[in-house]
Amino acid sequence: MSFATLSDVLQPALKNGYAVAGLVTLGWEDMRAFVAAAEAEECPVILQAGPGCREHTPLPVLGKMFRHLADEASVPVVAHLDHGYTFEDCKIALDSGFSSLMFDGSRKPLQQNIDETAAIVDMAHNAGISCEGEIGFVGYDDGEASAGTDPAEAAQFARETGVDAMAISVGNVHLQQDQSGGLDEERIAAIQAVTGVPLVIHGGSGVPADQRGRLARTTHICKYNIGTELRMAFGSALRDAVNSDPDRFDRVQILKDTHDPVMQAARNVLRALKG
């Protein structure tokens, strides 16, 4: 299956009432398990390289890893830069073979966010790839507080940037370890009433699974970013693998034991969002 852009997978989702998962990767073991999960569920998947991943592995290496997995996969695979904070971040990702960029100017004043996002959208579109932007700030659990998305600002942002997808702040937070939160459905309705751009929920791990699926089917939310719950699944599997045999020391053998549990956790995420 061809290496896909974000628009390649989100436009059908918008039209047909489902969402695609943006799965946050940290290394080869989890990204391979995520693609295996997508193949098992027969659905597209978005592999995401966020700031933590990029600190560990350079973007040119990640681009080659993502593209190799995409070229071998039987389903569409998007190579997505998550939370690019500068034009340079996005340019390096583009040059490294990524098929989708996410520029995060959400901490900046509205007009600056619009202007900088629009420049990256132009760069992406000129290269034949996609771009996601963020309007309103999605905060962090036990960290920075969120600033909810204003519908009028969202309409202006979408219109003036030309983004292919728009991340919004509607009660979601990054790094939440349980599903005790929930999304503000009135705010979502107000935003989608003024723009037809596919909507993205960052911090999807903290959104109750039933709400994720229902809103995927009934709103313009076409992408959920899922990281924390899959990192938790990986950590649990790795702990079990290490503790199961104190004499084992070969990390390749140990890491192999994480594949099936992480793949199953990813399958559960993907299945809930399918149409």
Q: What's residue 175's pLDDT?
A: 63
Question: pLDDT tier at 101 (50, 70, 90 boundaries)?
Answer: very high
Q: Which domains does the chain have, with CATH numbers?
A: 3-273 (3.20.20.70)
Question: pLDDT tier at 225 (50, 70, 90 boundaries)?
Answer: very high
CB 216 within 8 A of CB 208: no
Question: pLDDT tier at 1 (50, 70, 90 boundaries)?
Answer: low
Q: Other C-beta atoms within 10 Å of 11: how many?
A: 16
CB 211 within 8 A of CB 181: no
pLDDT digits (tens, 9 = 90+) for 137-154: 887 877 777 678 999 999
Q: β-pairing, 20-25 with 100-103?
A: unpaired
Cα(126)–Cα(145) distance, integer angstroms: 35
The average confidence (pLDDT) of the chain is 93
Residue at token pair 């003036």: 160
Q: Does 200 have pLDDT greater than 80?
A: yes
What pTM value is reported for the model? 0.95
Higher pLDDT among residues 173 and 46, named by residue: 46
Question: Is-catalytic flag, 82?
Answer: yes
Residue of 8, 30, 71, 82 marked active site: 82
